């Protein structure tokens, strides 16, 4: 198929206009990327200077007393109670095993050993296993939130740059 000279000129003119438009769009996209980078930097500064101190103050004022109270309850009540339950269960298990082995050996049941009481062990002071687990889970959650925020707010330059910025689309 052959095009007339007039059509060829019109097509060349249209292709030139498309190339100019493509170049202008690439410049505009480049400027938009620099604006986005600067906005990200300013948002980070605002977060460090304004948001973080207010969040910290709010946490210390409203949440910290309840968190401390919760830690005291967990370390002072829940962990010792759970330890007592587990210790009692293991003691019963041990007594049952001992009785079973005595019966299997033909020695009968030793009633004196069944009623002996051991002196209670002193309660340990300090941070227990539950406290450490809570700290680890809290740190992991905080790191996850910070990573998600960083991924959301960072400037990703690859999203703004074309593969071949100065090549015009074929007309």
The pTM assigned to this predicted structure is: 0.36
Q: Which DSSP letter does residue 60 get?
A: I
3-state helix, strand, coil in the chain (%, to 5): 80, 0, 20
Nearest to 146 by CA among 37, 82, 52, 42: 52
Instruction: Quickly list DSSP for 149-161.
Output: HHHHHS--GGGT-
Question: What is the pLDDT tens value at each position of the chain, 171 positions in all?
Answer: 688 899 999 999 999 999 999 999 999 999 999 999 999 999 999 999 999 999 899 888 888 888 888 888 888 888 888 888 888 888 888 888 887 887 877 776 666 655 555 566 676 677 777 888 888 888 898 898 888 888 777 766 555 555 555 665 565
Whether 122 is covered by a domain: the verdict is no
Whether 16 is covered by a domain: the verdict is yes
Q: What is the chain's length?
A: 171
At 66 the pLDDT is: 86
Nearest to 162 by CA among 25, 14, 20, 18: 25
| 131 token code pair | 């406290």
| 74 token code pair | 């967990």
**Domain extent at residue 75:** 5-117+128-152
At 90 the pLDDT is: 85
Whether 163 is covered by a domain: the verdict is no
Contacts of 128 (CB under 8 A, 6+ apart): 75, 79
At 144 the pLDDT is: 87
How many structural domains are present in the chain? 1
At 46 the pLDDT is: 92
Whether 42 is covered by a domain: the verdict is yes
Whether 141 is covered by a domain: the verdict is yes
Contacts of 80 (CB under 8 A, 6+ apart): 123
Alpha-carbon gap, residue 106 to 79, rounded angstroms? 40
């Amino acid at each position: 198929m052959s095009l007339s000279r007039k059509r060829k000129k019109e097509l060349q003119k249209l292709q030139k206009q498309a190339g100019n438009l493509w170049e202008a769009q690439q410049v505009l996209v480049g400027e938009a990327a620099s604006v986005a980078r600067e906005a990200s930097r300013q948002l980070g500064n605002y977060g460090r200077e304004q948001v973080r101190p207010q969040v910290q103050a709010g946490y210390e004022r409203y949440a910290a007393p309840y968190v401390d109270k919760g830690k005291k309850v967990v370390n002072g009540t829940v962990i010792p109670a759970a330890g007592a339950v587990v210790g009692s269960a293991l003691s019963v298990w041990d007594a049952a095993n001992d009785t079973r082995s005595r019966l299997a050996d033909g020695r009968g049941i030793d009633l004196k050993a069944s009623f002996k009481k051991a002196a209670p062990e002193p309660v340990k002071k300090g941070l227990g296993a539950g406290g450490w687990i809570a700290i680890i889970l809290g740190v992991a959650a905080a790191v996850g939130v910070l990573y998600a925020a960083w991924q959301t707010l960072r400037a990703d330059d690859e999203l703004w740059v074309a593969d071949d910025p100065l090549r015009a689309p074929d007309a």
